Copies of this chain bind each other. A is one copy, B any other.
Amino acid sequence: MIMKSFFKQNPGDPKPLKLVIKRKVRFDEIDPLRIMWHGNYASFFEEGRISLGDKYGFGYKDFEKHGVIIPLKKFHVDYMLPLEFGKTYSVETLLYWNEAARLDFEYRIYDEEKRLATMGYSVHLMVDLQKGILVVKPAFYEKVCMRWKEGKL
């Protein structure tokens, strides 16, 4: 089965960066129907995104150290299967290549039987706290991207 992505890619683009974390659904995350409340997926995705960023050197704190924040422009979730209290899920986060000063993250949540329960994405801008919205990537992230393109990440 070929998994369709939310983001279009061009020939020659390096493959997405990827990381999988595990997370258990807590009692305070479920709703009266005993499944995870739909708004809590944002926290699952964010934990995946932060873990991916930390692994490759462009986490929240890395951007911040360079005076840049990465606010969301778009956020999307497709719900396929509900997440249940006390069960542990795999959250797969992918970062797709983009030439622009923008971060395209995609998320896939799998249950313990490896069934796809959720797909989603978020698009982030880069905002320099002095200069406003960036049109080119900050230098430290450009370096990460060069190594990514060279297949060194």
Interface residues of A (CB under 8 A from B): 26-28, 30-35, 37-43, 46-47, 50, 60-61, 69, 71-79, 82, 85-86, 122
Contacts and interface: CB of A to CB of B under 8 A. Distances in A.
Contact of A77 (B27, B28, B74): B74
24 contacts: A26-B43, A26-B47, A27-B31, A27-B32, A27-B60, A28-B31, A28-B43, A30-B32, A32-B32, A32-B34, A32-B85, A35-B71, A38-B42, A39-B39, A39-B40, A39-B41, A42-B42, A61-B86, A71-B82, A73-B78, A74-B76, A74-B77, A75-B76, A76-B77
Nearest to A34: B32
Contacts of A76: 74-77
Contacts of A73: 78-79
